[in-house]
A and B are shown apart, each in its own frame.
Chain A
Amino acid sequence: KAGVTQTPRYLIKTRGQQVTLSCSPISGHRSVSWYQQTPGQGLQFLFEYFSETQRNKGNFPGRFSGRQFSNSRSEMNVSTLELGDSALYLCASSVGTDHNQPQHFGDGTRLSIL
């Protein structure tokens, strides 16, 4: 069974641009969560999607948005990029929203803002 796939693996952008990151969950998984990992703030929850609906949201500005498609694939968009958005963005999928379902992570997308 293929794991969680995130593309691209690396991305370089400049301030003010926007970016879209993609996440394909494990087959059969319907919940997708996104996390931002930085040396200063650690791992922080961005949002969770289930059945194409945003189910939960972390404390990030509105420049961070996402969506989920009918095949459970998810995209995350960041607009008007800032230097502080440089981070590793991790996607995780789980079968459902039950607390008993562990999350499986992808390799992440390393986003660098110049």
Chain B
Amino acid sequence: AQTVTQSQPEMSVQEAETVTLSCTYDTSESDYYLFWYKQPPSRQMILVIRQEAYKQQNATENRFSVNFQKAAKSFSLKISDSQLGDAAMYFCAYYGKTDKLIFGTGTRLQVFP
């Protein structure tokens, strides 16, 4: 069975600085998708970025980028130029042949002015 591990329950960053959130996963599949979702206090899960396993190039969405290391089964999220609005819970998720999102336990990100 696939598992997703987020080893950092909490992280903090100063406004305008860069922070990296870690995620590792375990799978025997070769074709899958990885996602980072953000959940602010408003509760809605918002898709931040996604990565297709067959693509070697790391995905980027504005200030958000990932470091995808397929062999190491690692999928970290880098947030550049952090803003107060980035404060939220961040969930790493895996989507493979089971056709369901498997989430990590989340990392709470605090952003200080």
Contact = CB atoms under 8 A, between A and B. Distances in A.
B103 A43 contact: yes
Interface residues of A, number: 24
Interface string A15-55: 00000000000000000010100000011010010000001
B99 A105 contact: no
B47 A90 contact: no
A8 interface: no
Contact of A107 (B42, B96, B100, B102): B42
A106 B44 contact: yes
Interface in B18-33: 31-33
Interface string B21-64: 00000000001110101000011111100101000000000000
Give the interface size bracket for B toward A: 20 to 34
A57 to B, nearest CB: 9
A22 to B, nearest CB: 16
Contacts of B44: 3, 105-108
A55 B50 contact: no
Interface of B: 31-33, 35, 37, 42-47, 50, 52, 91, 95-96, 98-106
Interface of A: 3, 33, 35, 42-43, 45, 48, 55-56, 58, 88, 90, 92, 97, 99-100, 102-108, 110
